[in-house]
Amino acid sequence: MDKIKELLKGGYVEDGSFPLKPLGKYIHIILRTRTLSETIFRTDEGLTIETVKAGINDNNEIQRVIMSKRKRIAAERRIGREFLMNYKLKDESCEINQSMCGRCLDCTVYGFAAGEKGKETEGALKSRVITENAYSILPYEMISDVRTFNALSELGTMMEKKEKKEKIELTMRQSLGENEYIKPEVDFIDIETLKDLRFAEVLYALGNILRTKRYGAIDSRLGKVKNEIIAIIISDAEIFGSLELTKKVWDKLEVKEHILEENIVDEKILESVKELLDGEFCKYKIVEKNDLKVLKDEIKSIYLKPEDNLISLFKNVKSIFDK
């Protein structure tokens, strides 16, 4: 755990009290999320897409699939809250968007909405995990497809039984439909920013990112993904966004066909990060390569045996209500 503290030093709040004032402590997590199954990112019907410039140098317009910031955080938050419930670090009455306690680690990191009048947690706290939409590197038409589905009856066919005048008749079900989906092995680039978090809160947010394996709609059957942290930037101000980084990577890729080579993509992401940082007006340091591997291995070992240190660390985090 000391190694993680050393690597992330300057990016987290060292005081144990809840930070009531902005302190300019930023940890930017550069992510590549790869789909490992058919996946659906949508708000209404169809996939969520945006028309944007292909690159910074390439001015052609393309449509990119979006992984919504809300969908990402919602999934990661559920995984974190499962952990807190499993180790009795959260009250059962605390429920997202209903009766949030405002005191547990999850409420403290990701914020909570106003409660009912007369409740102890009346008020609100905005999230200190700053997110935006993630963008596919490749164009929408290259990475998406449509699948037709039907809902079989209990007979295992498209026929169902209906009673008519004391007789049973078999009728054809009208239950054909379509789902637009993202193909497996599609890469999205994202940046999650942790602002003014304390060390335990940073471990919680990083653990949620690395432990979340499904996103999007119908996640009981679809949406398997892998989050790969490419680099971590510690700075005293916010840096560039995910779209700008995605466009920079696009310009650098020589082969722009599905399926992209992971090692090449990761190399181009890291190159792009360093070039974009040169244009930022802030003090920063990069955790990458061997140091990043050490950090991820340390986080893995901590979550492997949470009873040793992690549970007590999480239990002692002070909320905004604690003195």
Q: Tell me: the pLDDT tens digits for 3-56? A: 999 999 999 999 999 999 999 999 999 999 999 998 888 766 678 899 999 999
**Two tokens at 267?**
């190399």
Q: Which region among 43-52, 65-74, 159-168, 181-190 has the lowest average model confidence (pLDDT)? A: 159-168
Q: Which region among 80-84, 127-131, 174-178, 195-199 has the lowest average model confidence (pLDDT)? A: 174-178
- For residue 216, the model assigns a pLDDT of 81
CA distance 13 to 20: 11
**Two tokens at 71?**
């969908």
CA distance 112 to 55: 37
pLDDT at 154 over 60: no
Q: Are residues 259 and 185 in contact, defined by beta-carbon separation less than 8 angstroms?
A: yes
- The number of residues in the chain equals 323
CA distance 189 to 63: 15
- For residue 144, the model assigns a pLDDT of 93
Q: Which region among 33-37, 163-167, 230-234, 285-289 has the lowest average model confidence (pLDDT)? A: 163-167
pLDDT digits 0-9 by tens, 256-299: 999 999 999 999 999 999 999 999 999 999 999 999 999 999 99
- For residue 168, the model assigns a pLDDT of 65
pTM for the predicted model, two decimal places: 0.90
- For residue 230, the model assigns a pLDDT of 99
pLDDT at 149 over 80: no
Give the mean pLDDT of 75-101: 92
- For residue 159, the model assigns a pLDDT of 55
Q: Are residues 107 and 40 in contact, defined by beta-carbon separation less than 8 angstroms?
A: no
Q: Are residues 61 and 246 in contact, defined by beta-carbon separation less than 8 angstroms?
A: no
Give the mean pLDDT of 181-193: 96
